[in-house]
Amino acid sequence: MVSPNTDSLVVHAVGLTKVFRDFWFRTKAKAVDNIDFDIRPREIFGLLGPNGSGKSTTIKMILGLLHVTRGHLSVFGKQPTEVSIKRRIGFLPEESYLYRFLTSRETLDYYGKLFGLDRRTRLKRIDQLLDMVGLSQVAHRPVGEFSKGMQRRVGIAQALINDPDFLILDEPTSGLDPIGTRQVKDLILDLGRRGKTILLSSHLLADVEDVCDRVVMLYGGKIRAAGTTTELLADTSSTVIRTPRLKPQTIARIEQVLREEEGAAIESVEAPRQRLEQLFMDIVERARQEQVETSGARMGSGTAEFLRTEDTHASASQEDLISTLVQGRDEPRRAKIVEATDREAERRQAAARESEEVLSQLLRASQAPEQPRAVEVSRVPDKPADVDQSVIQSLLDDDKSGKGGSS
């Protein structure tokens, strides 16, 4: 199953093994056990298996989030931990980890900045992606208010913001309604036609059967079956003949011929049934044509235009860069930003004027000549008025005579 020309492979795994150990380095679980597989360019590759079969562990090793215990694994011919290959990969995890207070538009803008996309490219791609996943009408609402299915749609758009060459989808239809499930499968098929390489991990067999070119089935960390969907699903034990509606007597004559020629009989005669998924989609389409209002996600508009096969990802051309800089310099500011800036400037100017006035008052006070303090002249007592001194003298004489007698 391993291709001899490994240079052109997107993913090449030989003897891939992942063992989880406890604190004492004893084997705790062997999540992936000596598996070999290749993912070729421009193919949709399915990774099937029940819960705990090693699908998510394999994906994490491909992304470089887990180290390989044994074996060889390369992505685009390099080690999975190589930083240069990260911009070529888009990843939708099993659970969408989003900032609940950001809107879907702000979320995509944030991830676009992480990939180094310029502002003009980000805005263009965000509009196309929101339209593609049917969230244009609710782009102003915080992601925390979305249902699980609507958050899943944001996660799908996030995985495509960098226009990846290799798209990894871990349970992409989890939480989606039948509309979203059908749209995701159509999107995967369309991206495959546009030259994208896609790894689809799922335990929903119908999803994998509808879209995948080749499939690997895991159980207990080992590959139990591998091949194209046609090879794996072919049943050579019986023959199915589909015809227009037949009369009972015609069916009886056919069965008689079978008995005579083949020694066989007709096992069953069934009228074709419409699939429930198709019936549901028809009902939704009729409601949409009747313009029935809904507050949830809407039908997408098809694959975003920028998701092409050319290798033009995060780095913009020199002309785009120059035009972006010129546009950023000449672009008039929005009214709200100007208004807020003007108010802030007025507040700062008022505060500056007030500070200058206080400072000038302090300077004037410190530079003014100090006035001499007025000395309070003590009041000179008035000259006592003339009194009769004879009374005072007589008292003094009496005092002296008393002292002399006592002695």
The label of the residue with tokens 């992505």 reads 75
- 342, two tokens: 């003007």
Whether residue 2 is predicted with pLDDT greater than 50 in this model: the reply is: no
Q: How far is 90 from 309, CA to CA, in rounded Å?
A: 14
Q: State mean pLDDT over 122-135.
A: 93
- Please report which helix (H) or strand (E) contains residue 230, including its range: helix 229-233
User: Token pair of 239, please?
Assistant: 């023959």
| Average pLDDT of the residues in 370-390 | 55
| Kind and range of the H or E run holding 233 | helix 229-233
Q: How many other CB atoms are there within 10 angstroms of residue 127's CB atom?
A: 15
Residue 6 lies in a domain: no
C-alpha pair distances (Å), 5 with each of 10, 12, 41, 77, 199 = 11, 10, 12, 11, 20
- Reported as a pLDDT band with limits 50, 70 and 90, residue 353 is low
Select the more confidently predicted residue: 225 or 331.
225
Mean pLDDT of 311-323: 45
Domain annotation covers residue 271: no
- Rounded to whole angstroms, how far apart are CA atoms 49 and 32? 12
In the predicted structure, residue 162 carries a pLDDT above the cut 50: yes
Please report the pLDDT score of residue 312 as a whole number. 42
Q: Is residue 220 part of a domain?
A: yes
Cβ neighbours of 14 (radius 10 Å): 15
pLDDT at 383: 55
Residues 123, 101 contacting (CB under 8 angstroms): no
The confidence score (pLDDT) of residue 265 equals: 80
Looking at residue 364, its pLDDT comes to 65
d(CA 94, CA 155): 10
Residue 165 has pLDDT above 90, yes or no: yes
**Cα-based distances in Å from 347 to 21, 351, 353:** 62, 6, 10
- Is 50 exceeded by the pLDDT of residue 331? no
Number of other residues whose CB lies within 10 A of the CB of residue 121:
21
The enclosing domain of 199 has a CATH number of: 3.40.50.300
- Give phi and psi for 102, each to the nearest 5: -90, 150
Q: How many separate domains does the chain show?
A: 1
Nearest one of 174, 180, 179, 233 to 202, comparing CA atoms: 174
Q: Which amino acid is at 314?
A: A
**Structure confidence at residue 253 as a pLDDT band (50, 70, 90):** confident
In a domain? residue 337: no
Domain of residue 199: give its range: 11-235+243-256
The sign of the dihedral angle between the CA atoms of 101, 164, 72, 83 is negative
Looking up tokens 């590759």 gives: 45
Cα(54)–Cα(75) distance, integer angstroms:
18
- Which has the closest alpha carbon to 2: 71, 61, 66? 71
Higher-scoring residue by pLDDT: 164, 384: 164
> Cα(114)–Cα(162) distance, rounded to whole angstroms?
10
For 137, phi then psi, to 5°, come to: -75, -20
Whether 158 is in a domain gets the answer yes
The length of the chain, given as a count of residues: 407
User: Does 46 score more than 50 pLDDT?
Assistant: yes
Sheet holding 27-39, edge to edge: 27-39, 11-21, 70-75
Would you call 217 helix, strand, or coil by DSSP? strand
Joined together, the tokens standing for residue 252 give 């009886």
Residues 75-100 have pLDDT tens digits of 999 999 999 999 999 999 988 889 99
Residue 338 has pLDDT above 50, yes or no: no
pLDDT tens digits for range 174-215: 888 888 888 889 889 999 998 999 999 988 888 888 899 999
Residue 188 lies in a domain: yes
Q: With 80 as the cut, is the pLDDT of residue 380 above it?
A: no
Domain annotation covers residue 306: no
Mean pLDDT of the chain: 78
Task: Answer yes or no: is 324 within a domain.
Answer: no
pTM: 0.65
> In which band, very low, low, confident or very high, does the pLDDT at 401 lie, cut at 50, 70 and 90?
low
